[in-house]
């Protein structure tokens, strides 16, 4: 189904430089080349599990205050996150490893978001998913586990659900002025940057120790 | 079946099966207006249950999440269906419905095993109610089809599978009074719905 997405396009355009910058991050370039040591990828997947867990808690908070017509979609998104976490555990996510610094910062970010009104949260929920997946989708990787993640997020899978979330975000933006989102979005971009930087450091460390 | 639970004396539970509302639902004699009144209360109860379910999922260990997330999706779908077919304008919010919903907020303070055991017990009794029902209208038939389906039965069995290993952590002295209280509200709602459904 096609939805109007004019508002979200305006938001993306307003933040285009930072939003699109992650695709060029050296860690993603390494992923494209298949140049990330397996041990580093294991650690990255573990951190992805911790991110999913934080995201799920944020989504459940959102669902608890959502209007009735939004709830089924949010519940589907939560279910998808739970399935991804189960899959990451099957793939060997190692929970004896602590959440890294960006994950701890994400925890504070999600906690601080709780004070925002529901329409703002809807847009930031959508943006948090997209900032990550837009960058990851640019990777055509030979790694099987990454390919499996990308398939989960493909247009005929979770991507279809995210498409519906885009419609909610677009609707929410009808009552939110774009500058009101500058501060939380800039914080999100900083977090995403430090998250990819940390992944790169893990890859470099793994290389040095091999 | 969880034997320690079943061997706990629960007079209010016996009261549930003997309640005229349940008897009528099970014999195909529930007046349509009473069903509507019950479902309108369901609009509010479902909202409270969804919030409670989301709270449980936040607290749950990783191995419990999938079942609870599927149950959350089920409840949200039910809420959509209720919204589509019933309106709060059809009947007022009953005092017992309000009390029932308020109690759910208080249940969020409970330790997870106790909170989950209550969740299972409420869903299981709701599912049994429908499994034994004789639907007499299209709307009733929809709920009967849904809640008596193998899919929901399997979900209830999985939920029971989560409760069983942690049942020993549930304090019966806390569990029984809370369950009684919830069922008392539920029976209050049924009695009022039957009254509203009686011919004028």
Kindly report the average pLDDT of chain B as a whole number.
90
Taking the C-alpha atoms of residue A186 and residue A191, their distance in angstroms, rounded to an integer, is 9
Q: How far is A15 from chain B (nearest CA, A)?
A: 32
Query: Quick one: pLDDT band at residue B13, thresholds 50, 70, 90?
Result: low
Average pLDDT for B70-94: 94
Q: How far is A100 from chain B (nearest CA, A)?
A: 20
Q: Which of A74, A77, A82, A88 is the best residue to mutate to test the B interface, defined by the most B CB atoms within 10 Å of its own CB?
A: A82
- Give the pLDDT confidence score for residue B12 in this predicted structure: 54
Nearest CA in chain A to B69: A79
Q: Are A199 and A27 in contact (CB under 8 A)?
A: yes
A70-85 burial by CB neighbour count: b if 16+ within 10 A, else e?
bbbbbbbbbbbbbbbb
Give pLDDT tens digits for B111-134.
999 999 999 999 988 888 898 899
- Give the pLDDT confidence score for residue B5 in this predicted structure: 53
Taking the C-alpha atoms of residue B141 and residue A203, their distance in angstroms, rounded to an integer, is 58
Q: Which of B55, B57, B60, B88 is the best residue to mutate to test the A interface, defined by the most A CB atoms within 10 Å of its own CB?
A: B57
Query: Quick one: pLDDT band at residue B194, thresholds 50, 70, 90?
Result: very high
Q: Are A32 and A78 in contact (CB under 8 A)?
A: no
B77: chain A residues, CB-CB within 8 Å:
72
- Give the pLDDT confidence score for residue B1 in this predicted structure: 43
Give every CB contact of residue A137 below 8 A, 6+ residues apart in sequence: A150, A153
Residue with the bigger pLDDT between B2 and B189: it is B189
Q: Do A64 and B54 touch (CB under 8 A)?
A: yes
Give every CB contact of residue A28 below 8 A, 6+ residues apart in sequence: A22, A135, A136, A138, A139, A196
Give yes or no for residue B191 having a pLDDT over 80.
yes
Residue-range domains of chain B with CATH: 29-195 (1.20.910.10)
A143: left (phi over 0), alpha (psi -120 to 50) or beta: beta
Q: Are A40 and A94 in contact (CB under 8 A)?
A: no
- Give the pLDDT confidence score for residue A126 in this predicted structure: 97
Q: Do B73 and A75 touch (CB under 8 A)?
A: yes
End-to-end CA distance of chain B: 43
Residue B54 has its nearest CB partner, among A63, A69, A83, at A63
Q: Are A124 and A192 in contact (CB under 8 A)?
A: no
Residue with the bigger pLDDT between B61 and A3: it is B61
Residue A68 has its nearest CB partner, among B55, B70, B79, at B79
Give pLDDT tens digits for A191-201.
999 999 999 99
- Picking from B41, B36, B18, the residue whose alpha carbon sits closest to that of residue B140 is B36
Secondary structure of chain B as H, E, C letters: CCHHHHCCCCHHHHHHHHCHHHHHHHCCCCCHHHHHHHHHHHHHHHHHHHHHHHHHHHHCCHHHHHHHHHHHHHHHHHHHHHHHHCCCCCCCCCHHHHHHHHHHHHHCCCCHHHHHHHHHHHHHHHHHHHHCCCCCCHHHHHHHHHHCCHHHHHHHHHHHHHHHHHHHHCCHHHHHHHHHHHHHHHHHHHHHHHHHHCCC
Give yes or no for residue B55 having a pLDDT over 80.
yes
Residues of chain A with pLDDT under 50: none
Give pLDDT tens digits for A12-29.
999 999 999 999 999 999
Of B11-20, B63-72, B94-103, B137-146, the least confident: B11-20
Distances (CA, A) of B62 to A52, A100, B56, B59: 12, 20, 12, 9
Taking the C-alpha atoms of residue B139 and residue B145, their distance in angstroms, rounded to an integer, is 10
Average pLDDT for B147-159: 93
Cite the DSSP H helix spans in chain A. Answer: 6-14, 16-21, 26-33, 38-65, 68-90, 101-113, 118-136, 144-152, 158-172, 182-209
Q: Which of A56, A68, A86 is the best residue to mutate to test the B interface, defined by the most B CB atoms within 10 Å of its own CB?
A: A68
Write down the pTM of the prediction.
Answer: 0.93
The interface predicted TM-score of the complex, written ipTM, equals 0.93
Give yes or no for residue B2 having a pLDDT over 80.
no
Residue-range domains of chain A with CATH: 36-205 (1.20.910.10)
């Amino acid at each position: 189904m096609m939805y109007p997405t004019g508002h979200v396009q305006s938001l993306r355009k307003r933040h285009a430089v930072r939003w699109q910058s992650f695709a060029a991050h050296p860690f993603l370039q390494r992923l494209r080349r298949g140049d990330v040591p397996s041990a580093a990828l294991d650690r990255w997947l573990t951190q992805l599990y911790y991110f999913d867990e934080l995201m799920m808690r944020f989504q459940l908070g959102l669902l608890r205050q959502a209007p009735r017509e939004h709830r089924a979609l949010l519940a589907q998104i939560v279910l998808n996150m739970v399935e991804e976490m189960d899959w990451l555990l099957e793939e060997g996510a190692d929970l004896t490893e602590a959440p890294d610094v960006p994950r701890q910062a994400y925890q504070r970010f999600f906690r601080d978001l709780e004070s925002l009104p529901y329409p703002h949260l809807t847009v930031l929920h959508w943006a948090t998913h997209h900032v990550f997946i837009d960058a990851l989708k640019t990777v055509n990787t030979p790694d099987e586990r990454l390919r499996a993640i990308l398939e989960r997020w493909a247009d005929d899978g979770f991507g279809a659900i995210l498409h519906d979330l885009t419609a909610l975000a677009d609707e929410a933006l009808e009552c939110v002025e774009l500058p009101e989102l500058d501060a939380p979005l800039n914080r999100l971009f900083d977090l995403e940057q430090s998250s990819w930087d940390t992944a790169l450091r893990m890859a470099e460390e793994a290389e040095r120790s091999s | 079946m969880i034997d320690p639970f079943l061997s706990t004396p629960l007079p209010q539970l016996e009261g549930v099966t003997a309640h005229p509302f349940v008897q009528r639902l099970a014999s195909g004699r529930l007046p349509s207006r009473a069903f509507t009144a019950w479902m309108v209360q369901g609009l509010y109860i479902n909202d409270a249950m969804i919030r409670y379910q989301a709270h449980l999922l936040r607290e749950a260990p990783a191995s419990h999440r999938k079942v609870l997330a599927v149950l959350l999706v089920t409840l949200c779908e039910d809420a959509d269906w209720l919204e589509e077919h019933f309106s709060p304008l059809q009947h007022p919010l009953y005092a017992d419905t309000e009390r029932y919903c308020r109690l759910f907020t208080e249940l969020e303070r409970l330790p997870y095993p106790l909170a989950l055991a209550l969740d299972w017990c409420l869903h299981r009794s709701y599912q049994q109610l429908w499994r034994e029902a004789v639907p007499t209208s299209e709307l009733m038939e929809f709920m009967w089809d849904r809640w008596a389906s193998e899919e929901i039965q399997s979900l209830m069995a999985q939920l029971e599978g989560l409760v069983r290993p942690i049942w020993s952590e549930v304090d019966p002295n806390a569990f029984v009074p809370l369950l009684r209280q919830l069922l008392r509200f539920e029976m209050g709602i049924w009695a009022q719905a039957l009254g509203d459904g009686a011919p004028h």
